[in-house]
Structure 1
Amino acid sequence: MFYLLLPGWVVPTIIGGVIALVVIILIGVIVGAYNAFVRMRNTCEEAWATIDVYLKKRYDLIPNLVETVKGYAKHESGTLEKVVAARNAAMNAQGVEAKAEAENMLSGTLKSLFALSEAYPDLKANANFIDLQNQLKQIESELANARKYYNATARQINTKMQSFPSNIVAHFMHLSKFSYYEIEEEARQNVKVQF
Structure 2
Amino acid sequence: MTKWIIATALGLALLYLIALYNGLVRLRHEVTRSWANIDVLLKQRHDELPKLVAVCQQYARFEQDTLTRVMEARSAVRDARARNDVPRIGALEEQLRGLLAQVWAVAEAYPELSADARFGELSARISRLEDAIADRRELYNEAVNNLNVRVESFPDTLVAQALGFTPARPLTFAARDKADVDIAALFQR
C-alpha distance in 2 between matches for 1:154 and 1:191: 28
Unaligned runs of 5+ in 2: 183-189
Name the SS of the counterpart of 1:135 in structure 2: helix
Matched, 1:149 2:139: yes
C-alpha distance in 1 between matches for 2:177 and 2:121: 22
C-alpha distance in 1 between matches for 2:39 and 2:181: 19
Runs of 4+ in 1 over 6 A off after TM superposition: none
Q: Say whether the 8 Å CA contact 1:70–1:77 is kept in structure 2.
A: yes
User: Counterpart of 1:19?
Assistant: 6
What TM-score comes out, normalization by structure 1 length? Answer: 0.86
C-alpha distance in 2 between matches for 1:58 and 1:184: 21
Q: Say whether the 8 Å CA contact 1:100–1:183 is kept in structure 2.
A: yes
Alignment of 1:152-163 (within 5 A): 152-163=142-153
Q: How many residues align?
A: 179
C-alpha distance in 1 between matches for 2:29 and 2:180: 30
Which residue, 98, 111, 118 being the options, matches 1:121? 111
Shift of 1:18: 2.7
C-alpha distance in 2 between matches for 1:73 and 1:101: 31
Shift of 1:28: 1.1
Matched, 1:181 2:171: yes
C-alpha distance in 2 between matches for 1:98 and 1:132: 26
Matched, 1:53 2:40: yes
User: Counterpart of 1:168?
Assistant: 158
Shift of 1:56: 0.2
Which residue, 16, 23, 39 being the options, matches 2:26? 39
Shift of 1:76: 1.0
C-alpha distance in 2 between matches for 1:133 and 1:121: 15
Q: Which moved further from structure 2: 74-83 or 139-148?
A: 74-83
C-alpha distance in 1 between matches for 2:162 and 2:106: 54
User: Counterpart of 2:15?
Assistant: 28
C-alpha distance in 2 between matches for 1:120 and 1:190: 23
Shift of 1:185: 2.6
Q: CA RMSD in A?
A: 1.7
Q: Say whether the 8 Å CA contact 2:53–2:67 is kept in structure 1.
A: yes
Q: Say whether the 8 Å CA contact 1:96–1:181 is kept in structure 2.
A: yes
Q: Say whether the 8 Å CA contact 2:56–2:62 is kept in structure 1.
A: no
Q: Say whether the 8 Å CA contact 1:48–1:150 is kept in structure 2.
A: yes
User: Counterpart of 1:86?
Assistant: 73
C-alpha distance in 2 between matches for 1:157 and 1:142: 23
Unaligned runs of 5+ in 1: 1-12
Percent of residue pairs identical: 31
Which residue identity does 1:174 align to in structure 2? G
C-alpha distance in 2 between matches for 1:176 and 1:51: 21
Matched, 1:96 2:86: yes
Describe the shift of the 1:190–1:136 C-alpha distance in structure 2 as closer, same or farther (beyond 3 A): farther
User: Counterpart of 1:5?
Assistant: none
C-alpha distance in 1 between matches for 2:133 and 2:181: 12
Name the SS of the counterpart of 1:72 in structure 2: coil
